Structure 1
Amino acid sequence: MPRLTHDLIAQAVRPPPPGPAAPQPDEPRLRAEMQVFLHGRDPKLGVWVFAYGALMWNHDAAGPNIVTPARLPGFARRYTLRDVQDRGTPASPGLTLGLEEAPALACPGLLLHLPGPDVEERLWPIWKQEMGPGFYTPHWVEVTMHASRDPGGAPIRALCFVTRPDSPHCCGEKPVREVADCLARSIGPNGAAAAYLLDAADTLRKNGMRDATLESLEAEVAQRLADVRPV
């Protein structure tokens, strides 16, 4: 059984054909929305952010002073969003992860603490990255530390970016076969969708957590890429 690796992805996924670029976000509007969302919070306390996708490994610009494994009860990560500007293009859309309510489940991820007093400037690169495509709405949620780090600890109130069901990019849950087909071929300005999948699953494993859905997709995508890899 082939294993998904960055080498396999580089050998099998071809660059995207030329085409129109996705529209750029309206940064003044996004910054104003962030300031409204944070209104009334003491900036000296900083902000906790729950990361479940690319933010788990792509947060250096925000400079968090704490990064720790955690779980968000009542939610699950799912490939339900069309990606036309990151790991896909308008001409050849990919899929990316969203976060949706799932009362019986809990989503593993990472908690990032952005310290004050300049919390707005620390949060801005995260806010622009997550809110720019129009996928999500910001919510305050109650997150628990991963059991091995803080058994029985009190929940932490954190900012989380949850899927907008009315987003034009929201395409609903698809069969694993269709998701794997898309992830195996999709690529955009920030790389291949298969690499995003691998990085998400690897980051969780390195932090003592697993996601069965991601790992199932890893196997499916690896098989597809092995079948098309040049020999």
Structure 2
Amino acid sequence: MPQLTHELIARAVRPPPPGPSAPPPDEARLRAEMKVFLHGRDPELGIWVFAYGALMWSHAEAAPDIVTPARLPGFARHYALQDVHDRGTPAAPGLTLGLGEAPALSCSGLLLHLPGPDVEARLWPVWKQEMGPGFYRPSWQDVVMQPRRESAGTTIRALCFITRPDCPAYRGELPVRDIAECLAASSGSNGSAAAYLLDAAETLRQNGMRDPMLESMEAEVARRLAGIPHPVSPASTRARATPATPDPASRF
């Protein structure tokens, strides 16, 4: 089986099609919402932010003084958000990661500590990046530091960006086939969806963590980019004789 690599992605993924870009976010509104969210907190104490997607490696502007592995109980990553901003376009939407409730699971990621006293200035690039597209709602959640050794972790109250099922970009639970085909094909102003997938999985591995969903999707996307057809069983071949009912959620 082929392995998903940046070299394979560079060879196989085409640049985004020409067309209009998504409108920029309303920065004045975003700043006002951030101030309301932080109201009442002592800026001298700083804040913790939980990163589970691009924020795991794209946080230089926020200048965190601590970056440590962690897990968020009761939530899991999912590809349920249509992306026309970063790794997709309005003409050819991609998919991006969200964070959905999953009581029996936990989401691995990184905890970022933004120290005081200039918390608002440090948080602003994070807030703009995460809240600009309208995908998420900010929420304080208990996140567990994931120690390198086998021992109990410390629980930290951290800012998390949770998927909004009521946002226009929400697509709900999609078939693995449709997700993989979309990730293999889409790209936008911030690169390709396949590279985003690979960066997320590699960042977790570098920090001693794994996500089975991401690693399974790596294999699916790599196979498509390498042009290897999916093996067909006799049962599925017979099933093709009957026209399938189209899935209304599958638009990619």
Who wins on radius of gyration, i.e. which is larger?
Answer: 2
Which residue number in structure 2 is paired with residue 34 of structure 1? 34
Report the secondary structure of 1:140's partner residue: strand
| Matching residue of 1:212 | 212
Q: Percent identity?
A: 75
Aligned residues: 228
- Show structure 2 runs of 5+ residues with no match: 229-252
Which amino acid letter does the alignment assign opposite residue 129 of structure 1?
Q
| Change in CA separation of 1:150 and 1:27 when aligned onto 2, cut-off 3 Å | farther
Q: TM-score, normalised by structure 1?
A: 0.97
Aligned to 1:3: 3
CA positional deviation for 1:154:
3.2
Q: In structure 2, give the amino acid aligned to 1:138.
A: P
CA distance in 2, matches of 1:153, 1:82: 34
Structure 1: state its 5+ residue gaps: none
Match in the other structure for 2:114? 114
Q: Which amino acid aligns with 1:37?
A: F
Q: Which residue of 1 aligns with 2:165?
A: 165
Q: Which residue of 2 aligns with 1:46?
A: 46
Comparing both chains, which one has the higher relative contact order based on Cα–Cα distances under 8 Å and sequence gaps of 6 or more?
1
Question: Are 2:146 and 2:153, in contact at CA under 8 Å, matched by a contact in 1?
Answer: no
| Deviations 1:128-187 (CA, angstroms, capped at 9, x unpaired) | 000000000000000001143583233100000000110000000111111000000000
Matched, 1:180 2:180: yes
Instruction: Name 2:141's counterpart in structure 1.
Output: 141
State the TM-score, normalizing by the size of structure 2.
0.89
Measured in 1, the distance between the counterparts of 2:216 and 2:45 equals 39
- Take 1:103 and 1:166, find their aligned partners in 2: how far apart are those partners? 20
Who is 2:237 aligned against?
none
2:66 maps to 66
Match of 1:196 in 2: 196
RMSD: 1.0
